[in-house]
Amino acid sequence: MNNIVAIVGRPNVGKSTLFNRLIQRRDAIVDSVSGVTRDRNYGKSEWNGKAFSVIDTGGYIKGSDDVFEGEIRRQVELAIDEADAIIFMVDVEEGITPMDAEVAKLLRKVTKPILVAVNKVDNGQREKDAVEFYNLGLGEYFTIAGMSGSGTGELLDKLVEVLPELPDVVEEENPLPRFTVVGRPNAGKSSFINALIGEDRFVVTDIAGTTRDAIDTTYNRFGFEFKLVDTAGIRRKAKVKEDLEFYSVMRSVRAIEHSDVCILMIDATRGFEGQDQSIFWLAEKNRKGIVILVNKWDLIEKDTMSTRDYERKIREELQPFTDVPILFVSALTKQRLLKALETAVEVFENRKQRIATSKFNETMLPIIEHNPPPALKGKYVKIKFCMQLPTPTPQFVFFANLPQYVKDPYKRYLENKLREHYNFSGVPIDIYFRQK
């Protein structure tokens, strides 16, 4: 499990620039499915061998510069509450503004590590100007230039030094698969779990507080034992407004990173909204199995087309990763709840399946021969061999003479063909091209 680092500060001080610089330290994040910038506020970073998750609070504030200070205050409070360390960004050109002073006031009450990053320091004069930020009362500061990246090394050295040691997760001999129920507030996560647990009280053991107040329940069904984790049980701060998009996403980060399959519940009466999508892409980026449950389906006026139309709408939003099971359920009337669990078990099995190299070549090479990658600059790409990598999530490598010439559309074509022949429903796949 990773530490969480939040970048806070008022608008336009360069939070997103620093965020982008941090997450690009690991290629895996950069070359994830192209076109997916919808989850641009969360990523993973690594420095000096220490991995951590980064959250940019900036992307969640809607509106222009006259953004309500209350909104920023709420985000800072939430970051203080959930993150393990905080980078507070300020801007040397503008000096300490009243809003900076407000944020500093909140941060001074906190015992967590706080690093002040003074941005846009790109010459000696500005280096001198930065002294003013001692007045924030948060101790030493780090001068950086987000655009060129100067100074970020020192900031990161200090960051990984002050990140708290996480308790070692005791590796069990055969750890039970973890199915985490995620979704925005009021989508029916608790009702879903209560409906399941209420039916089979005898196969349940509650272990509360294991993952930061998310509730773990050991559950036994279909001759298959797994942990069901309810993120709705994560404590709610009275101060945090329920509808804040940032709230659901930040609260879900830890639970998602720590799960095998995410059961994403959406409220049928509200549709597949921005917040649901953020949580979906968070699970996809972490390469988790995903099942989507459209809850409260009993409240929807239906005609013969309803489920089909509704499902098509959701799949349009999920592009290019559309091979995800979508079920229509009702936690209230207990409609299709067991089917939902059964599907989650199937997705778990799909995620850990291994395809023999000989079989994989027999399937994929004729497909490639029939429709090879398009030639580029008069050069032809030849793919002679492919295999599944021995990784925890499905990753495939294709060996080619000119791997750099294979573009995203062809990767997606291969992924679609792969999904046609093998059942990877609900599971993100990585495809790589390497020099043979």
DSSP bridge partners of 293: 265, 327
From the annotation, which residues make up the binding site for GTP?
9-16, 56-60, 119-122, 183-190, 230-234, 295-298
Are the C-beta atoms of residues 55 and 43 closer than 8 Å to each other? no
Tokens representing 165 are 């040691």
Residue whose C-alpha is closest to residue 177's, from 103, 247, 260, 233: 260
As a whole number of angstroms, the distance between CA 34 and CA 408 comes to 7
As a whole number of angstroms, the distance between CA 344 and CA 179 comes to 8
User: How many residues does this entry show for the chain?
Assistant: 436
From the annotation, which residues make up the binding site?
9-16, 56-60, 119-122, 183-190, 230-234, 295-298
Are the C-beta atoms of residues 115 and 88 closer than 8 Å to each other? yes
Tokens representing 308 are 């089909």
Largest CA distance in the chain: 70
Are the C-beta atoms of residues 135 and 97 closer than 8 Å to each other? no
As a whole number of angstroms, the distance between CA 3 and CA 160 comes to 10
As a whole number of angstroms, the distance between CA 215 and CA 285 comes to 24
Residue whose C-alpha is closest to residue 190's, from 73, 67, 332, 323: 332
Q: What is the per-residue DSSP string for 14-82? A: SHHHHHHHHHTTSHHHHTSSTT--TTTTEEEEEETTEEEEEEEGGGG--SSTT--HHHHHHHHHHHHHH
E-strand ranges in 61-144 read 85-91, 114-119, 141-143
C-alpha distance from residue 416 to each of 216, 312, 388 (Å): 35, 18, 16
